[in-house]
Amino acid sequence: MSLLDTQESELDTDPSTSDASEVYLPQYLPLEIIGYDREFFQTFRVTKKVYSYIVGRFERSMHFKYRESAKCVLLGLNYLGHQTTTYSGLAKRFNVSASTASQIVDDFTGFLGELFYQFVKWPTGSRRQSNIRKFRKLHNIPNVIGCMSACYIRFTPSKVTDEISSYRDAKNGCYASLLQAICDTDLIFFYILGGCPLESNATDANSPPVNLTDPLRKYAREWCNGVTVLGDESYPLRPWLLTPYKQITGDDYHSRVSYNEVHSCATSYIRSAFRLLIGRFQRLKLIRRKDIQSVRTIVHACCVLHNISRSMENGLPMEFMTSDDEIALYSGNNHPVGGINGSDMEISPDAYEAELLREAVANNLFKMKQNNS
């Protein structure tokens, strides 16, 4: 299914329009968790309104096989929200066996995975125009719909296979995959590609930051259709993807410095989104799973929960946002991957078109700065 296939008019995919006023909580939970919103939020990482909405969706899914949907949802939320939570600990808390707890987690994350294309979708129509207006209002950059970066998701496999070995991070002595994402100014993801092998293991020094199956490399220009995404220095400069200047010299020095300052500020949203995602759903700090598909399912599940929560909480709360040193942002080989932004200029119409566009944006930003000074 394409990211553009789901229509924005589908009421069932908009949690902000849901009536989640009735909240059922199992009576076997401690009173301090049931009775107080803050304690519930700290334990399950979502508000009661979000929890109630998820219960309703879970009950209508093919993954609902149990008598108590509330128990399943709370158990799954507790697992995703805490890195140290074990199946035996979940079994004790929710009065089930450890094997049942494991199965419930698989069913719950599978259910959220099936909602992925409903809640992580490329902005079109009014949402696209809203993104453009917000970036222009906040940063004076025209025709921008989002910002992009990638971070590492570490995991511990139960068995090392040929596939898993490609995720070995020899430098840090662990296994990790890349999570590439694009978000808007509200920190809502509208593009996610998880479970990618590490670029550092690639044999080609000019390999992309993600694998070649990445649909962005094929369809991004069509999806953007005249607008752009802001990306960090790990990415190549493209007509749809504006990156910062790596080398600032010559007559355009001041305009390029000004552009890089604005660009850095405008791309801070994706870093904040990663910090909030991993700080809230701390299972992402270290995933213990047997295969990469299971890792990818958990990543997608957490991203869906993140987007639902951001939509229903009106941008709040932010208290789970982790510190910068607790997330590992992708930095490539400390140089951009190919393209005109690198040391070797790529001779292609796209590269020259992108350079001209970036120069125009940089000059316009510098003129506005001068006029306002």
DSSP string, 258-316: HHHHHHHHHTHHHHHHHHHHHHHSGGGGSEE-SSHHHHHHHHHHHHHHHHHHHHHTTT-
- 345 is written with which tokens? 């200029």
Question: What confidence score (pLDDT) does residue 122 get?
Answer: 96
- Only one residue has tokens 């599940």, namely 301
Q: Give the span between the Cα atoms of 82 and 284, in whole angstroms.
A: 9
Q: Residue 334, exposed/middle/buried by CB under 10 A (0-12, 13-18, 19+)? A: exposed
At residue 159, φ and ψ (nearest 5 deg) are: -150, 135
Q: What is the pTM of this model?
A: 0.84
At residue 182, φ and ψ (nearest 5 deg) are: -125, 135
- 265 is written with which tokens? 């500020």
Q: Report angle CA 91, 92, 97 to the nearest 5 degrees.
A: 35
Q: Give the span between the Cα atoms of 218 and 235, in whole angstroms.
A: 15
Rg (CA), the chain: 22
| DSSP-assigned beta bridge partners for residue 153 | 177
Q: Residue 178, exposed/middle/buried by CB under 10 A (0-12, 13-18, 19+)? A: buried
At 117, the amino acid letter reads Y
At residue 230, φ and ψ (nearest 5 deg) are: -95, 130
Q: What is the pLDDT along the chain (373 residues), one digit of tens a residue?
A: 444 443 333 334 455 555 444 455 565 565 545 555 778 888 899 988 899 999 999 998 888 777 788 999 999 999 999 998 999 999 999 999 999 999 999 999 999 999 999 999 999 999 999 999 999 999 999 999 999 999 989 998 877 887 788 888 767 778 888 899 999 999 999 999 888 777 544 434 444 444 434 688 788 889 999 999 999 888 888 999 999 998 887 778 999 999 999 999 999 999 999 999 999 999 999 998 878 889 999 999 999 999 999 998 765 556 676 666 666 666 554 333 333 344 334 456 788 899 999 999 999 999 998 888 7
With contact defined as beta carbons under 8 Å apart, do 243 and 341 qualify? yes
Q: Give the span between the Cα atoms of 220 and 215, in whole angstroms.
A: 7
Q: Transcribe 23-38 into DSSP letters.
A: ----TTS-HHHHH-HH
Q: Residue 48, exposed/middle/buried by CB under 10 A (0-12, 13-18, 19+)? A: middle
Which helix (H) or strand (E) segment is 104 a member of?
helix 98-114
| DSSP-assigned beta bridge partners for residue 178 | 152, 196
- 308 is written with which tokens? 């639902």
Question: What confidence score (pLDDT) does residue 333 get?
Answer: 44
DSSP letter at 160 equals -
